Chain A
Amino acid sequence: MTRKLASSDRGEGPYVWRFSRLERSLHVMVIVSFFGLVITGTPLLYAHTPWARSMIRLVGGFQAAAVIHRVCAVMTFAYFFIHVGSLAYRISRSTNRVAFFWGPDSMVAQPQDLRDFAQTFKWFFGKAPRPRFDRFSYMDKLDYWGEFWGIAIIGSSGLVLWFPEFFGRFMPGWMFNVATIVHGIEALLATGIIFTIHFFNVNLRPEKFPIDVSMFTGRGTVDYLKAERPREYERLVAEQRLEALIAPPPSRAAYLWSVSLGLVGLTLGVVLIGLILWAIIWHA
C-alpha cells in the first residue's frame, strides 16, 4: 500500500476516471482566471493596507491590474459559456436526458442531498455514521451552483462597471454605485468560500489532507472512490460500469505537475484569505 501525498492517489486498486479532459481544462481556466481576478481586484477593497499597494505594484500598477482583471473576466465568461455549451451538446446527444436533471449523476439538488445534509449534522456530533455520498455531494453542488450565481452577479455588475458609458444610457448613475457594492461583496463571498470552504472540503479536511489532485489528473484510485464516494462506487459495481471507467495511473510527470499546481494554488489562496482577514481585523 502506497501512501502518497495526494489523497486521490492513495490506496490500492486501479485508477478510475473522474473528470473528462474538458472538465479538467475548464477547472485550470477557473483557477488561473480566479487568481488573476482576486489578485487584481482585492487590493481595491483594501486599498488602505500596505499589502494592497504592494500587490498592485507587483502586477505592474493599477492600469496593468485593470487589464489583467478584464482578461481574466473574459476567460471567466469563456469557461462559463464553454461549460454551458458542452452541457447543451451532451444533453442533445444523450439517450438518457433525464439523468442530467435528476438522479445521482445530476447536479440538481435532490431529496437525497437533504437527507445527506441532515445525516452529516448528526455525524458531526457522533449521532450517526458518516454519510455515504454518491457522485456529487451537497458540498459539490454548493460549489457548482455558487459559481453559477457568482458569475451571474459578478459578471453582470462587472460589465456595468467595464462599460459605464454604454450602461449609463439607460441606467441611472447610482447603478454604478450598486454595481460596485455588489461586485465587491460577491467577490469577497466567492473568495471566502473558495479559499476556505472549497479548499477544506476538497483538499484540507483531515482525511484528504493536504491535497486531492483528481481534478488535475482526472482520476483517482478505487480505494479513494470507495472512501469518498461509497454510494457511487457501489452503484458503478452494481450497474457493471466500473470496468469501463478503469484508467491507467497518471504519469509521474502529470502527477508531479498536478501536485505542484495544487499546492501552489492552495498556498496562494490561503495567503490571500489571510491578507483579507488581516485587513478586516487590523485595519478596519
Chain B
Amino acid sequence: MVAGRPFVQNHLRLLRLLRVLGLPLIGLASVAADVATVLGQSGITVSCSKCHADAAFLSRHGPRADALYVTDTLLQDGAHATLRCLDCHPELGDGYPHSPSDPAPCRQCHVPEGAEWEASIHAVEEAAGDAATCLSCHGSPHATYGSDDRRAPTHALNVATTCGQCHSDPRIIGTYFTGPEDAQARSAVGDYHQTVHGSAMSAAGLIISATCNDCHESHRVLPAKASSSSVNRQHIAGTCGACHVGVLEIYESGSAHGSAFQTGLRTPEGLNAPACVDCHSAHQIVRTDEMEWFLGTSVKCGACHAELWETYLDTYHGQVTNLGFGLTAKCSDCHTPHNMRPASDPASSVHPANLVATCSRCHAQVTASYVKYYAHGDPRDRKRFPVLFWPWLFMTTLLVSVWSFFGVHSLLWLNGIRLERRKRGRQSDPRSSTP
C-alpha cells in the first residue's frame, strides 16, 4: 500500500488529463478499468491483503491475528463491502510497518446512530470500559451485516443473545443492576425467553415478534426511570402501540385506564392509572389465552380494585378462579381487556343496556331479568344490597346459633358424664352402668 496510493492518485490524474486532452477512447477504457479495480473496489485493498489476508503471516507477528485477518471472503457480502480499508483506517496509509491505532469512529458515517448512542446509558459507562460500543452489538467491523441479515448479531433472532452477552453476565449485573428498581433488569434476558415475545421469536422463529431493541430502542437505550426512555411509563403505551396498533387505539379512545392515564389521574394512594406494563409486565408477558394469564391478571386488577376483587371472590366466578381454574368469568371477560369503562358509560360492556350481550358471551338464554345478578354483590352491605343482606344475616345467625347451642350441649354432656362418674365413684360401685 505504500506505493499503492500514490500510484492510484497519479493514475487518476493521468486519466483526467487524457480525457481533457480529447482522447476519449483511451479515457473510456481506462475509466472502466479504474472503476473495476480502484474506485468501486469492494473488499480489502490489494496491497493490504498482502499481509492481512495471510493468516500464517499475521500469527507470526502478534497476538491479535484473528482481528487483523481480513479477506475478501469476509468482506464481500457484508454491509461494509463497498468501503476501502483507508476509509476507516486513514492513518494507516502512511507507511509500513504501522503501529496499532484507533480506527475512525463509526459515527463518521453513522451520524444519527452515533448521536443516539451518545445519549444512551450504554455511553455513560464508557469510562469503566463496560460501555456497549458499536462493535459490542454489531460484531466485527469487517464481517459486519445489516440487521436484516440473518448472520448479524443485531438480527431479530440474535438480539436477545447479543444483549445477553452483557445483560446475563453476573459481573455486569452485580456491578450495574444492584438497586431494588433493577430487579426486573437482573433477570430480563432469561425472562424474555419465557415470554410470549421471546417464545414467538425463539420457538416460532417469528421475527416480527418483539425483541430487546423493539422496546428499548437500538441506540438510545435508556433505563425505564429516565423520563425520555421509550420504556418509561409516559411513553410505554406508544412503544407497545407501535406494534399493537389496535390495542393502543382502544386504550387511548376513552377506556377508563387510558383516559385516566392521559389526564394524569392518580389514586389517593398515589398510584398512576395503569399503562400496558402494569398488567402485562415487561419481561414476564405471557399469552393471554393461557391459564397463567387468566389467574394472574385478575389478581393484578384486585391490587388496585380491592373491594371489587373481594366481592368477586365471593361469587362462583371468583371462587373457581381462586381455586386455580381459568374457565369462569374473570375481570376482563366482563369488563373487556382494554376497553374497560365505568358502568355509567353507554359504551361500557357493563352498562345496563349491554349486560345481556356481555353475559351472553358465556351464558345461554340470557334475559334482562337474568342480568340483574350482582357480579360484585356484598351481602354485608345492607344499604346497597338489602336483598342479599337479609338472607345472609338470617343464615349466618342460624348457623352460628344452632352450631354454638349444640356445641355447648355436647360440652355440657361431657360435664354430665363427669359428674355421673364422680358420683358413682363416691358410691364405690365397681360396676359401670353402661355396657
Distance from A71 Cβ to chain B, minimum over Cβ atoms (Å)? 18
Task: Give the residues from 403 to 431 in chain B that come closer than 8 angstroms, CB to CB, to chain A.
Answer: 403, 406-407, 409-410, 412-417, 419-420, 423
B396 touches A174 (CB 8 A): no
Besides the contacts A181-B379, A185-B395, what 13 more A-B pairs have beta carbons closer than 8 Å? A7-B435, A10-B435, A52-B323, A142-B406, A165-B370, A172-B372, A178-B388, A180-B316, A182-B395, A189-B399, A193-B403, A197-B403, A227-B434
**What is the number of contacts between chain A and chain B, taking CB atoms within 8 Å?**
154
Q: Determine chain A's interface SS by DSSP, over half rule.
A: helix
List of A residues within 8 angstroms of B412 by Cβ: 121, 124-125
Distance from A261 Cβ to chain B, minimum over Cβ atoms (Å)? 22
Tell me the complex Cα distance, A183–B391, Å.
11
A185 touches B392 (CB 8 A): yes
List of B residues within 8 angstroms of A1 by Cβ: 435
Q: Is A22 an interface residue (CB 8 A)?
A: no
B416 touches A130 (CB 8 A): yes
Q: Is A206 an interface residue (CB 8 A)?
A: yes
Contact of B319 among A44, A189, A192, A201 (CB under 8 A): A44
List of B residues within 8 angstroms of A188 by Cβ: 399
The chain B residue with its CB closest to the CB of A8 is: B435
Q: Is B322 an interface residue (CB 8 A)?
A: yes
A62 touches B392 (CB 8 A): no
List of A residues within 8 angstroms of B373 by Cβ: 173-174, 176-177
Interface flags, A191-224, vs B, CB<8A=1, else 0: 0110011001100011100000000000001011
List of A residues within 8 angstroms of B313 by Cβ: 47-48
List of A residues within 8 angstroms of B391 by Cβ: 178, 181-182
The chain B residue with its CB closest to the CB of A167 is: B370
List of B residues within 8 angstroms of A181 by Cβ: 379, 388, 391-392, 395
List of A residues within 8 angstroms of B99 by Cβ: none
Stretch among B124-132, B232-240, B358-366 lining the A interface: B358-366
* Most interface-central of B323, B363, B406, B415 (chain A CB within 10 A): B323
The 15 listed contacts between A and B (C-beta, < 8 Å) are: A44-B319, A47-B320, A48-B313, A53-B323, A62-B320, A124-B416, A125-B416, A130-B416, A165-B365, A170-B369, A177-B385, A181-B392, A185-B392, A196-B407, A197-B403
Chain B: number of interface residues, binned into ranges: 35 or more
Q: Which residues of A contact B (CB under 8 A)?
A: 1, 7, 10-12, 43-45, 47-48, 52-53, 56-57, 61-63, 120-121, 123-126, 130, 142, 161, 164-165, 168-174, 176-178, 180-182, 185-186, 188-189, 192-193, 196-197, 200-201, 205-207, 221, 223-224, 226-227
Interface flags, B365-388, vs A, CB<8A=1, else 0: 111011111100101000001011
Q: Is B315 an interface residue (CB 8 A)?
A: yes
A177 touches B377 (CB 8 A): yes
Distance from A44 Cβ to chain B, minimum over Cβ atoms (Å)? 4
Contact of B387 among A57, A123, A169, A178 (CB under 8 A): A178
Tell me the complex Cα distance, A168–B372, Å.
9
Q: Is B398 an interface residue (CB 8 A)?
A: yes
Task: Give the residues from 314 to 358 in chain B that come closer than 8 angstroms, CB to CB, to chain A.
Answer: 314-316, 318-320, 322-325, 327
List of B residues within 8 angstroms of A142 by Cβ: 406
Distance from A62 Cβ to chain B, minimum over Cβ atoms (Å)? 5
List of B residues within 8 angstroms of A193 by Cβ: 402-403, 406
Distance from A56 Cβ to chain B, minimum over Cβ atoms (Å)? 5
Q: Is B433 an interface residue (CB 8 A)?
A: yes
A169 touches B367 (CB 8 A): yes
B402 touches A189 (CB 8 A): yes
Distance from B421 Cβ to chain A, minimum over Cβ atoms (Å)? 9
B435 touches A197 (CB 8 A): no
List of A residues within 8 angstroms of B316 by Cβ: 44, 161, 180
Task: Give the residues from 283 to 341 in chain B that come closer than 8 angstroms, CB to CB, to chain A.
Answer: 313-316, 318-320, 322-325, 327
Q: With A47-B322, A193-B402 as known contacts, state yes or no: A11 contacts B372, CB within 8 Å.
A: no
A207 touches B434 (CB 8 A): yes
Distance from B284 Cβ to chain A, minimum over Cβ atoms (Å)? 22
Contact of B410 among A62, A201, A223 (CB under 8 A): A201
Contact of B435 among A11, A56, A168 (CB under 8 A): A11
Contact of A172 among B369, B377, B395, B398 (CB under 8 A): B369
Tell me the complex Cα distance, A44–B325, Å.
11
A174 touches B323 (CB 8 A): no
List of A residues within 8 angstroms of B415 by Cβ: 124-125
List of A residues within 8 angstroms of B434 by Cβ: 207, 227
Tell me the complex Cα distance, A165–B369, Å.
11
6 A-B pairs with the lowest CB-CB distances in the bound complex, closest first:
A11-B435, A173-B373, A168-B370, A47-B322, A173-B372, A223-B435
A197 touches B406 (CB 8 A): yes
* Most interface-central of B396, B398, B409, B435 (chain A CB within 10 A): B435
